[in-house]
Amino acid sequence: MTRYKITVEYDGGGFVGWQRQDNGPSVQAALEEAVFRFCGERVLVEGAGRTDAGVHALGQAAHFDLGKDTTADTVMKAVNFHLKPAPVAVLSAEEVAADFHARFSAIRRSYLYRIVNRRAPLALERGRAWFVPHPLDAGAMHEAAQLLVGHHDFTSFRASECQAKSPVKTLDVLSVQRGGALIEVRAEARSFLHHQVRNFVGSLKLVGEGKWSAADLKTALEARDRAAAGPTAPPAGLYLTEVGYPSAS
């Protein structure tokens, strides 16, 4: 039995999320079915994170075990062949140690949230960004975001259905940068609470609109109450960009 680590890209728009569910197609199920068509083995594809419906990935990580005698390159090519026409692609595959786990071995997760801030509606970016037609001050958003960096109780930015044992997390990076009409929010931490990044973005949008000050964002954080923070940003703008592991993995 060989364990393979794969890096996966997908458009989450047509899926109910990463995790296999009874109410629609999932990324996990698409991968598991592709592996079965390749080698006839029923496997469990374990992901590094359970992205929600409509959330995309540029670098999701996952692992599974195969009994078939094959190579990582063959796994990548064969799974991609059998994934068609699903908007999912295996970018790379490699053999890893039997104790490697895509979720529990991860030491860093990086997310990108994309906002298109212009008056004209989206044509090419529809379903892949949050369209905000009124002006946003990205500089003010970035300055306020720095108040969230560090070790905090993030209850105010945690979904009510979050299953994490503790709301306390260490946020390593939260940046906001504008390039033309595109505003990119980047977040990095060892792990995140359910909806944490989308809730950050929803609150930072209030800052960008001038409805909140940086002090208001800090007050929301310290309230430790979901009702004190801003709305949850739509899923279409969120991308899981990278999952980091110790170099020995």
Residues 90 and 159 in one domain: no
State residue 247's pLDDT score.
82
Choose among 3, 11, 99: nearest CA to 57: 11
Burial class (CB in 10 A: 0-12, 13-18, 19+), 249: middle
Residue 102 DSSP symbol: T
- Arithmetic mean of pLDDT over the chain: 97
Q: What is the pTM of this model?
A: 0.95
Q: Would you say residue 103 lies in a domain? A: no
Query: Where does the pLDDT of residue 163 fall: very low under 50, low under 70, confident under 90, or very high at 90 and above?
Result: confident
Residue 101 three-state SS = coil
The catalytic residue among 11, 22, 52, 99 is 52
pLDDT at 20 over 50: yes
Q: Would you say residue 101 lies in a domain? A: no
Q: Would you say residue 18 lies in a domain? A: yes
State residue 249's pLDDT score.
43
- CATH number, residue 70: 3.30.70.580
Per-residue pLDDT, averaged over 216-231, amounts to: 97
pLDDT at 248 over 60: no
pLDDT digits (tens, 9 = 90+) for 167-180: 999 999 999 999 99
Residue 125 CA, chain-centre distance (Å), reads 18
Per-residue pLDDT, averaged over 204-215, amounts to: 98
Domain extent at residue 16: 2-96
Extract the tokens encoding 3: 């364990």
| % residues pLDDT > 90 (the chain) | 96
Show Cβ contacts of residue 30 under 8 Å, excluding neighbours closer than 6 positions: 15, 83, 86, 88
- Does residue 22 have an active-site annotation? no
pLDDT at 100 over 50: yes
pLDDT digits (tens, 9 = 90+) for 139-162: 999 999 999 999 999 999 999 889
Residue 42 three-state SS = coil
